[in-house]
Structure 1
Amino acid sequence: MEAVLAMMALTVLFGGFVLYLYNNMVLEPGRMRSKLQKQGVRGPSPSIPLGSIPEMKKIQLQVRSRTNTPNDRLYDVVSIGHDWPSTVLSHLIQWRNEYGPVFMYELGNMQFLCITDAEMVKEVSVYTSLNLGKPSYLSKEHGSLLGQGIISSSGPIWAHQKKIIAPEFYLDKVKGMVSLMVDSTNFMLRTWGSRIKSEGGVADIKVDEDLRSLSADIISRACFGSSYSQGEHIFSKLRTLQKMMSKRILGIPFLRFIPTKNNIDILRLEKEIHTMILKVVKQRTEEAAEEKDLLQMILQGATASGGIDNPPLGITRDKFIVDNCKNIYFAGHETTAITASWSLMLLAAYPVWQTRVRAEVQEICNGGSIPHADMLRSMKVLTMVIQETLRLYPPGVFVSRKALQDIQLKEILIPKEMHIQIPISILHQDTDLWGPDAHQFNPERFEHGILGACKLPQAFIPFGVGTRICVGQHLAMIELKVILSLILSKLCFSMSPAYRHSPAFKLVIEPEHGINLRVERI
């Protein structure tokens, strides 16, 4: 009798699980698609359980087979051009051409509304309600890296985090970090100088690796009161974790719970990083610092909202601290380092612009003065180059949102739970918005600012859009100006024969094989 009851219980549990999967994989996605189809929104027909993934892979394989060259796209990036989205995001471009500027597709059971219509992007940018939040997959599928920090959270949790963190990145505070940025950059330049000398006057340097270390040092010292040497292991493990997370396929239920080697390694790294950050926090709380840094503000914000026994807004104190530290460690150094790397690559590939920027820097800095905030504001040509780099190679791939309630954008009623995705690079290289040279490097387009560069300035979104725009954008821009101006004032560089141009999607857009440059003193 007991065996029969146990069997019945197992049957009921199994039946319930099957019904849950059927509702989750078939019924709910079908209802959401139907609501959009009735409004004229189309997209590729999904399969179960992978959604649009098989078609996406098929398109990518077809495009790559046509675009591969015998030399694996060597360093002559000028002739290759910068239309990398046509390869990396080929499926989105094909679906846009087939179904229009607003279309839907699926990753597993996750429904995406992809928006490449600039007017609708403008509506997203002015939408202020908390009903438009961040997708839950950021804190679930990418939870080991992002958790419920400021990048990935929504609603009251996010509002509380922004209140704490955003003021630490206001322009006036960032200006006070310039001397620190100069010190860190000069240390890196002395290291490069030693290499150049030891290699006979010209060194082949993989600049992206050193720029990651530099940016990590700056964010550590500016926001956490420590140097890169103290946080080196945290950054290294976050970088490894990022690579592992980029291998995951979104939208397949329970995939992250399967004990694969990758998933096991991710969990191990997450625990190690958690422990290491809390160790830094403990050391910091024991120090008697006179000035409050960002870490202390995060600690204060966690304590103000409740302790471990009274979790703030549904998140424990330790998790609140660790998640936000991980967010700032990751976003605060990875994206800036990548942009600085792409900028140097472009200046090496276009020596006329390298010469122009160097001349401006030398004039403003009087041939060797240490740059300060007022000098940086006067570097118009350098600003144009950075903006054009961010246009062609934005570190973020998508602006991602989720409709937490039914919302109206333009003429479309977007159902609750629908994921909204704006592919930044596709907007940034839209010839209708930027002109026929949209795939070319032309900083001159920003001569009169963003308003003069694009038919619709809201289509330039390297730091995101609306209320969720990156709180660290001032820090990123000033840091980029400091790093690039100091490098240009002391060194000249050209493309290395070892450079292979291959932008890759690894949660951010980064050079798959690194950026090798030939560097020498001026």
Structure 2
Amino acid sequence: MEVSLPCLRLVSSLTLLALVFFLVHVCYTVLLKSERIKRKLRMQGIQGPPPSFLYGNLPEMQKIQLNTLKASSFQAPDFIAHDYTSTVFPYFEQWRKEYGPVYTYSTGLRQHLYVNQPELVKEMNQMISLDLGKPSYLTKRMAPLLGNGIVRSNGLVWAQQRKIVAPEFYMDKVKGMVGLMVESAQPLLKKWEECIEAQGGITADVKVDEDLRELSANVISRACFGSSYSKGKQIFSKLRSLQQTFSNQNILFGVTNFGFLPVKKQNKISNLEREVESLIWEAVKERQQECQETNSSEKDLMLLLLEGAINDQSLGKDASKSFVVDNCKTIYFAGHESTAVAASWCLMLLALHPEWQGGIRKELAEISKDGLLSVDSLHHLKTVTMVIQEALRLYPPAAFVSREALEETQLGNIVVSKGVCLWTLIPTLHRDPAVWGSDANEFKPERFTWGVSKACKCPQAYIPFGVGPRLCLGKNFAMVELKVVLSLIVSKFSFSLSPKYHHSPAYRMIVEPGDGVQILIQKI
């Protein structure tokens, strides 16, 4: 059947007209909406860098970052500057100095509000509304790594997941895991003793990062999922590969191709995601079968998640499976990676300051006469607690508190429009001389002698575990694990920084030692 030329022209004209209407619609609904939000913030006296058309401040951010990388210099072990914000996040620091602790900027058509004023952070701490959630654009990109679990979800879905997950990390439960943590640390201690013997019997040069990751993964596997690290090794390995893949793109702020990834990279992410989910579901079913065969009444987090999903009438079969897998994925990753990185930073700082190693050993000798750590001794580990708190002040693994206004929200005197993303740069807040004093960039654990409330002028400015109702659920778990691990290492070894150590904090979804932490260890 032949189509006449006038008909073809009519179809072409209608197609072109539809395209024009679509572009006009995009202009009005996206461009004008973005401009309206920006204008509302500026009318409230909030300034910021002038954006470019379509790309916002992305080109400037990339330019500032590139210039900083060119100017950055090597930091040897004998000279370490703890303030890394101007090199890792140079655009934020440059704009903060120019526009103050509260300013606005944009990435593409998305508007952001930078908030590093202690009083406003305090108010964020006190907000209990579900109107502030995790930025949807950011969590969407991180879905392959975190699923739609408790870290990524918002609103009632988040509240439902929190109800199931939170009780497993209450302090009474965590205290019951101390013996397991001590036991999990023994292979690391033995490995380092063997390293000393293999390297001459006096000292050994060890890179601690992977050993600490393995230890932390073993603890989280046994505590929450009823299995050992060896069983979940593939899961951790593939999650780490996913993290590294994401770290190679600008996960925080979007890229100039509007978020589209090269096909090869996207395929790699999709394949890893499927493999991780398959491995986790196998582990869930295996754990369920083990408990049925042994008639065990003890339920770890994995089984509680499964039970919660089964009992929730609002979830179908596929949704129940996703609920379990997504939260297991979140806990497998977030539950071990951040703690392992925090432990690495603690060892780096203790290696720089051996007098604090001595203080920890002295305290351990007074508390634990038989050399064994127990639940009762945890409360008395004040020196190691101060060291951890100070390490988390200077090197918080989580660099940001990020929120999106899911509805129009009032923050102090600022009206935050729906869709605006709020960012608080934690390391900058932790180094504010007005809050912490003139020695804010120095390692001084003694500032925490009387706890966080007396450590600085505004305790709400200390937020290594986030703020408000979305405070990290694993806070108690992480603190107890760090106390146990550091106490055991310091009781067995003395150590200093290796000449091979290169101080290069890097942001890879969390702030970690870019080239690892290398120390010289000696058995006590």
TM-score (norm 2): 0.94
Change beyond 3 A, Cα 1:441–1:38: same
Question: Is the CA contact (8 Å cut-off) linking 2:114 and 2:424 kept in structure 1?
Answer: yes
1:235 equivalent to 2:240? Answer no
Deviations 1:274-298 (A, max 9, x none): 1111111111121224300000111
Cα distance between partner residues in 2 of 1:23 and 1:182: 60
Change beyond 3 A, Cα 1:374–1:27: same
Change beyond 3 A, Cα 1:17–1:495: farther
Q: Which structure 2 residues correspond to residues 226-375 of structure 1 after superposition, within 5 A?
A: 226-249=227-250, 250-251=253-254, 255-288=258-291, 289-306=296-313, 309=316, 316-366=319-369, 368-375=370-377
Amino acid at match of 1:223: C
Cα distance between partner residues in 1 of 2:368 and 2:239: 36
Of 124-133 and 137-146, more deviation after overlay is shown by 137-146
Question: Is the CA contact (8 Å cut-off) linking 1:138 and 1:147 kept in structure 2?
Answer: no
1:195 equivalent to 2:202? Answer no
SS of structure 1 residue aligned to 2:37 = helix
SS of structure 1 residue aligned to 2:242 = helix
Amino acid at match of 1:340: A
Note the C-alpha offset of 1:24. 6.0
Number of aligned residue pairs: give it: 512
Change beyond 3 A, Cα 1:199–1:118: same
Higher Cα radius of gyration: 2
Amino acid at match of 1:437: D
Query: Aligned Cα RMSD in Å?
Result: 1.8
SS of structure 2 residue aligned to 1:519 = strand
Deviations 1:193-223 (A, max 9, x none): 1111111122111101100010000000000
Change beyond 3 A, Cα 1:155–1:200: same
Cα distance between partner residues in 2 of 1:468 and 1:416: 19
Deviations 1:43-74 (A, max 9, x none): 111123322111112222333444x33xx222
1:15 equivalent to 2:20? Answer yes
Note the C-alpha offset of 1:307. 7.2
Amino acid at match of 1:417: G
Q: Which structure 2 residues correspond to residues 59-208 of structure 1 after superposition, within 5 A?
A: 59-66=64-71, 68-69=72-73, 72-76=74-78, 79-201=79-201, 202-208=203-209
Note the C-alpha offset of 1:446. 0.6
Cα distance between partner residues in 2 of 1:364 and 1:402: 46
| Residue 34 of structure 1, aligned match among 11, 20, 39 | 39
Cα distance between partner residues in 2 of 1:214 and 1:100: 42
Cα distance between partner residues in 2 of 1:118 and 1:304: 42
Change beyond 3 A, Cα 1:152–1:12: farther
Note the C-alpha offset of 1:499. 0.5
Cα distance between partner residues in 2 of 1:381 and 1:337: 20
Cα distance between partner residues in 2 of 1:253 and 1:81: 33
Question: Is the CA contact (8 Å cut-off) linking 2:65 and 2:90 kept in structure 1?
Answer: yes
Question: Is the CA contact (8 Å cut-off) linking 1:361 and 1:379 kept in structure 2?
Answer: yes
Note the C-alpha offset of 1:8. 4.8
Q: Which structure 2 residues correspond to residues 491-502 of structure 1 after superposition, within 5 A?
A: 491-502=493-504
Question: Is the CA contact (8 Å cut-off) linking 1:308 and 1:318 kept in structure 2?
Answer: no
SS of structure 1 residue aligned to 2:150 = coil
**Structure 1 unmatched ranges of 5 or more:** none
| Residue 426 of structure 2, aligned match among 408, 416, 424 | 424
Deviations 1:159-198 (A, max 9, x none): 0000000000000000000000000101211111111111
Question: Is the CA contact (8 Å cut-off) linking 2:364 and 2:371 kept in structure 1?
Answer: no
Of 118-127 and 16-25, more deviation after overlay is shown by 16-25
Cα distance between partner residues in 2 of 1:386 and 1:434: 17
1:55 is matched with 60
Question: Is the CA contact (8 Å cut-off) linking 1:235 and 1:329 kept in structure 2?
Answer: yes
1:394 equivalent to 2:396? Answer yes
Note the C-alpha offset of 1:99. 1.1
Deviations 1:98-137 (A, max 9, x none): 1121111112222111101000000000000111111112
Cα distance between partner residues in 2 of 1:285 and 1:13: 55
1:213 is matched with 214
Identity over the aligned pairs, expressed in percent? 48
SS of structure 1 residue aligned to 2:44 = coil
Question: Is the CA contact (8 Å cut-off) linking 2:309 and 2:315 kept in structure 1?
Answer: no
Amino acid at match of 1:88: V
Change beyond 3 A, Cα 1:20–1:373: farther
Note the C-alpha offset of 1:90. 1.5
Amino acid at match of 1:135: P
Change beyond 3 A, Cα 1:231–1:7: farther
Amino acid at match of 1:210: D
SS of structure 1 residue aligned to 2:63 = helix
Cα distance between partner residues in 2 of 1:255 and 1:144: 18
Question: Is the CA contact (8 Å cut-off) linking 1:49 and 1:252 kept in structure 2?
Answer: no
**Structure 2 unmatched ranges of 5 or more:** none
Of 270-279 and 470-479, more deviation after overlay is shown by 270-279
Amino acid at match of 1:244: T
